[in-house]
Structure 1
Amino acid sequence: MFTGIVEEMGRINQLGYDKPGSFTMKIQAKLILEDINLGDSISVNGTCLTVDHYDKEKLEFSVGLAPETLRKTSLIELEQGSLVNLERALKPSSRMGGHFVQGHVDGMGEIVEFKPEGDSLWVKVKTVKEILRYIVPKGYIAVDGTSLTVVDVFDEEDCFNFMLVAYTQQKVVIPMKKVGQKVNLEVDILGKYVERLLSTGFVDAIKSS
């Protein structure tokens, strides 16, 4: 479980198939390595990945990516030198600064517009209807692992938007991307639970009891 509050931006040192069927990503970081252990869960651009090696002297850790992860996320678009959002898994004693983020990417969106307003930045993202159905104005969404508040939903365009304040722009990778690039999306899990309960007739059963 994560909060969507990015702890630091890491840099991709190396990525690719180190042996047939095994895609490995080596990431340079600092804060993440302070209390790292093998098997830890790290959110990399919103994707929950498992640490399989680390070197504190080189300030580097590595994670393996399954074929399904490469198919379902934007991580396949990364290159050596790319920056990524990093967050360690939530501890029971941690402050909950964002919202409940699982690191299980629901799908991808495509950035269709950046529009500055003052020192803030509007970002508009296009996605598929299957994901957009769970996105509501003033609701939560994780974009590349960043907990954000949706401002508007444009159903006719299959789009939604959000605003990044000046501070956030300096701390996450989204403003560094270009129009047309992909982002990982994770919708608020509460919306999916509510839909599931309604579809099973749970609410009707409660009313009639």
Structure 2
Amino acid sequence: MFTGIIEEIGQVTSLQTTSNGKRLTVTCQRVLEGTQLGDSIAVNGVCITVVTLTPTSFQGDVMEVTLRKSNLKNLQVGSKVHLERALNLQTRLGGHMVSGHIDTVIQVSRIQDRQGQFYMTLLIPPGYRKYMIPQGSICLDGVSLTIADLTESHVTVSLIPESKKRTNFTHLRVGDFINLECDLIGKYVENMVKDQEGNSLADYIKYGF
């Protein structure tokens, strides 16, 4: 599990095609402290298992299914990525509970800089609006953010200057796709309230059952 608080921005230095996906090498510094083989590191919000380790880098395998669902398929040598180590029981939960299992990618539709505050509006993919609520939590490229505005088709988040400085979001352009992980609790609640006919919580709310 992760909290969505980015610890470091790393750089991809190698991408190797494997029989079932890709092996990536990321150079970094802070997230290597205390890291051991088999540990998990979130790369742009995707949980990656460390398979090799050096004093300046780690390697991890990305399966084909993960490549299809995430923007890791677009990485190139030189790409900058958000990094976060898995939390431990002594960690302050500064963001929210993040699994590192990406739901899908979401497209940037508008970027604004209002008096030093960075706003980003994204087009909600079909089927994912039900997991979002006003002032709720959302994870974008591994970053825990609060929903600032929400319509049926778009979600807007804002970053304070400190968060903006610690992420890659200033390099985003309209049309870019970033990783989306919806709130984990909402997905569990939906699954638990499904009845035998397959109706979901959203169906009950919609039809007033």
| Same topology, TM > 0.5 | yes
**Number of aligned positions between the proteins:** 197
- The correspondence for 2:182, drawn from 167, 182, 187, is 187
Q: Which residue of 2 aligns with 1:50?
A: 49
Matches within 5 A, 1:1-209: 1-17=1-17, 19-56=18-55, 59-155=56-152, 158-200=153-195
Q: Provide the alpha-carbon RMSD of the alignment.
A: 1.5
- Using the alignment, how far apart are the partners of 2:19 and 2:63 within structure 1? 12
Q: Is the 8 A contact 1:144 1:174 kept in 2?
A: no
Residue 123 of structure 1: how far off its partner (Å): 0.1
Residue 192 of structure 1: how far off its partner (Å): 1.4
- Percent sequence identity over aligned pairs: 34
- For the residue of structure 2 that corresponds to 1:4, the secondary structure is coil
**Distance change (3 Å), C-alpha of 1:130 and 1:22:** closer
- Using the alignment, how far apart are the partners of 1:13 and 1:109 within structure 2? 25
Q: Which residue of 1 aligns with 2:205?
A: none
Deviations 1:156-200 (A, max 9, x none): xx2100101111111011221211111101111111122223323
Residue 10 of structure 1: how far off its partner (Å): 0.5
- For the residue of structure 2 that corresponds to 1:191, the secondary structure is helix
Q: Is the 8 A contact 1:108 1:185 kept in 2?
A: yes
**Distance change (3 Å), C-alpha of 1:171 and 1:81:** same
Residue 22 of structure 1: how far off its partner (Å): 4.5
- For the residue of structure 2 that corresponds to 1:162, the secondary structure is strand
Deviations 1:74-93 (A, max 9, x none): 11111111111100001011
Code of the residue aligned with 1:154 in structure 2: it is T
Q: Would you identify which runs of 4 or more consecutive aligned residues in structure 1 move more than 3 Å?
A: 19-22
Unaligned runs of 5+ in 2: 202-209
Code of the residue aligned with 1:200 in structure 2: it is D
Code of the residue aligned with 1:43 in structure 2: it is A
- For the residue of structure 2 that corresponds to 1:151, the secondary structure is strand
